[in-house]
Amino acid sequence: DYQRLSGVHRKGAEIVSLLAQKDPIAGLAMSRYEIRLAKSLAHVVNLIDPDIIVLGGGMSNVDRLYQTVPLLMKTWVFGGECETPVCKAQHGDSSGVRGAAWLWPLHG
């Protein structure tokens, strides 16, 4: 989305860095990402009503997501109410790798 808006390809970490510098294009791209993420997670809530949503991967390190996305989700959740917490994975962006390691057989 940042590339579509600016014509310049940047990685997520670079966009987050530009966001911290108040770059308007990075701000718009992040706002659009937050809306898309909120819509997607609202569908999950509507379908399976989870007790909690845990974000992993590199974008899980963007702290502002945990303030903006839960508020935005309410727009697309049936009834407009959503108390499902959105939390960062306990081990950050390496949680998936750690979980996969636990599944590896002890005797090979």
Residue 36's domain is classified under what CATH number? 3.30.420.40
Q: Residue 108 falls within a domain, yes or no?
A: no
Q: What global pTM score does this model have?
A: 0.85
Question: By residue range, what is the domain housing residue 96?
Answer: 2-103
Task: List, for residues 3-40, the tens digit of each pLDDT value.
Answer: 999 999 999 999 999 999 999 999 999 999 999 999 99
Residue 50 domain flag: yes
Domains identified in the chain, total number:
1
Exposure class string for 1-37: b at 16+ Cβ within 10 A, else e: ebeeebeeebebeebbebbeeebebbeebbeebbeeb
Residue 55 has φ and ψ, to the nearest 5°, of: -95, 135
Q: With contact defined as beta carbons under 8 Å apart, do 56 and 95 qualify?
A: yes
38-83 confidence digits (pLDDT tens): 999 999 999 999 999 999 888 889 999 999 999 999 999 998 888 9
Q: Are 37 and 71 in contact (CB under 8 A)?
A: no
